[in-house]
Structure 1
Amino acid sequence: MLLAVDAGNTNIVFALFEGGDVRARWRIATDPRRTGDEYAVWLTQLLALEGLERSAVDQVIISTVVPRALHNLEVLSTKYFGTEPLIAGRAPVEWGMDLDVEEPQNLGADRAVNAIAAHALHEGDLIIVDFGTASTIDWIDYRGAYKGGIIAPGINLSLDALVSAAAKLPRIAIEAPATDSVVGRNTVDQMNIGIYWGYIAMIEGLVARMKAEIGRPAKVIATGGLAVLFEQHTKVFDAVEHDLTLRGLAMLAERAHMG
């Protein structure tokens, strides 16, 4: 079985693939200080709940945007799964696509993996909206080339900035407002409207501008942990791929296996 590891700024997602499908997925807060031994204890218990032992994992692939977390994840793979991990973007799992931007070396691994998976799953020009610590909007053209994109603060980051800078505003949970009204009658409702509908307006506006710049029909794909929060309240998305990054990692691992 393949263990795919997507290390983001906020969480690390571990997914167990069996026959090309996700059998299980687990999420843990990103902490670069967490050791390979600590990961192993946690994962061994979770594998046991699936009726599996560590020996069931014979391949590991890692994608990370947190360089300090990589070493301990590599230790996890070599020490506890007995396999040298594949690192997304490095031989033998280079991206295998054209990065048509000014600084290709600075493209985040998660965005590159998303592009690979989206192009494999969908035809034509694609716009990928990834809701994470930062929200990114990327354009992949019909040939599969990465053409560039947008980086904006994630919704939780925006809320944290608002609450920390305004002493009298309370910390609230981000959720879809009960109605479509944008006139709040109390402080909490007003904050929720501003954060939620304001965020949707930002995404819709940026996607519209990107579509106009592309000048061809483009399919909009949403992904990321918070995509589920928005998919029912905007028509801007043509598809939602909750496991896009993980599926991209599985594709890279399969490419390495076949090659």
Structure 2
Amino acid sequence: MLLAVDVGNSQTVLGLFAGSELLHDWRVATDVMRTADELGIMVFDFLELAEVERSCISAFILASVVPRLNAQYQIMSTRHLRVEPLVVAPGVKTGMPILTNNPREVGADLIVDGVAAFDQYGGPCVVVDFGTATTFSAISARGEYLGTVIAPGIEVSIEALAQRAAKLSRIELVDPGTVIGKTTVHSMQAGAVYGFAGQVDGIVSRVREELGGKAVSIATGGLACLIFEHARTLDLVDNMLTLKGLEIIYRRTQEAR
């Protein structure tokens, strides 16, 4: 079995694969202070919940945008899983050409999303990932990674608003139901949900223009379902996109050997 891990700034997603089939997935808060041993305990707890023996894990792949945790996950893999980790980084054969000015600066998560999106849905396509930042990745009809739009994430923006405005507090991000708010909380929720839906529509439309017109748009990330209900340019939601991409990249590296 393959254990795939995607470490984001706010959340970490783990997936357990048998071949190309995703059997289990888990989501936890990212904690940069966790050690390799603590990560091992976390993984073993999840395996126990899934009733999977640790000896069944024969491969491990990691994509991370948190450098502090990269080494800890690699140590965890070799020490506790006893498998050599594969880390998505420059030099790994993803099968996707990166046509940016500096391919090395493109986040591993963005590349993984792009690989999965093109494999699953074809191109051209736009991947909208709702994380700490909201990112828009453009993939060509030939499966090339063309570039990215990076905007502040929804939760980051709400937190900044609460910190900078004396009379506004933190809110729960839920569907406000209407655009016109009747209370302060309702108004902030409407601004967040409909404001970001409008941002998505504006950026996706412009990216499509640069791609020549039509491009399938895929939403992923923790808040994808909420914004999908209100955005007019998103075609579908795939919250397992990054995990699927990790499995695809692992499979390609094995086939290339």
Match of residue 6 from structure 1:
6
Deviations 1:45-67 (A, max 9, x none): 22112111211111000001111
The aligned counterpart of 1:194 is 191
Aligned to 2:172: 173
Residue 90 of structure 1 and its aligned partner are, at CA, apart by 4.7
Tell me the CA shift for residue 9 of structure 1. 0.5
Cα deviation for residue 234 of structure 1 reads: 2.5
Letter in 1 for 2:131: G
The alpha-carbon distance between structure 1 residues 195 and 59, as it changes in their structure 2 partners (threshold 3 A), is: same
- Alignment-mate amino acid for residue 130 of structure 1: D
CA distance in 2, matches of 1:46, 1:184: 41
Aligned residues: 256
2:213 aligned with 1:216:
yes
Match status 1:66 vs 2:63: no
Cα distance, 1:73 vs. partner?
0.2
1:228 aligned partner: 225
TM-score by length of 1: 0.95
Aligned to 1:48: 48
Alpha-carbon distance between aligned partners in 1 of 2:214 and 2:27, rounded to the nearest angstrom: 35
Determine the C-alpha separation between the residues in 2 that align with 1:239 and 1:51: 32
Residue-by-residue CA offset, 1:208-256 (whole Å, 9 max, x unaligned)? 1111222231111111121111222233111211111110100111112
Cα drift, residue 76 of structure 1: 0.9
Shift of 1:168: 1.1
Work out the CA distance in 2 between the residues paired with 1:97 and 1:258: 15
Deviations 1:102-135 (A, max 9, x none): 1211000000011111111122310111110100
The answer to whether structure 1 residue 18 and structure 2 residue 18 are counterparts is yes
**Is residue 250 from structure 1 mapped to residue 240 from structure 2 by the alignment?**
no
Report if aligned partners of 2:208, 2:214 keep a CA contact under 8 Å in 1.
Answer: yes
Q: CA RMSD in A?
A: 1.3
Unaligned segments of structure 2, at least 5 residues: none
Contact 2:93-2:253 within 8 A present in 1 as well:
no
Q: Within 2, Cα distance between the matches of 1:144 and 1:24?
A: 28
Matched residue type, 1:164: Q
Q: Is the 8 A contact 1:61 1:86 kept in 2?
A: yes
**1:162 & 1:23 partners in 2: Cα distance?**
39
User: Once the 2 structures are TM-superposed, how far is the Cα of residue 153 of structure 1 from its aligned partner?
Assistant: 0.5
- State the distance in 2 between where 1:44 and 1:146 align: 35
Q: Is the 8 A contact 1:88 1:109 kept in 2?
A: yes
Q: Give CA deviations for 1:118-162 in whole Å, capped at 9, x if unaligned.
A: 111122310111110100011100001111120000000000000
- Is the 8 Å Cα contact of residues 3 and 15 (structure 1) preserved in structure 2? yes
1:184 to 181, 186, 193: 181
Within-5 A mapping of 1:97-246: 97-179=96-178, 182-246=179-243
Distance 2:90 2:167 in 1: 48
TM-score by length of 2: 0.96
Instruction: Give the Cα separation in 2 of the matches to 1:117 and 1:158.
Output: 28
Gaps of 5+ in 1: none
Q: What is the rounded CA distance, in whole Å, between the counterparts of 1:252 and 1:237 in structure 2? A: 25
User: Conserved in 1, the CA contact under 8 Å of 2:94 and 2:253?
Assistant: no
Q: Deviations over 1:146-186 (max 9, x none)?
A: 1112000000000000000011112110111123xx22222
Of residues 149-158 and 236-245 in structure 1, the stretch that sits farther from structure 2 once superposed is 236-245
Fraction of identical pairs, as percent: 41
Q: Distance in 2 between matches of 1:227 and 1:166?
A: 27
Q: Secondary structure at the match of 2:190?
A: helix
* Post-superposition offset of 1:195: 1.1
Checking the alignment, whether the CA contact within 8 Å between 1:89 and 1:95 is kept in structure 2 is no
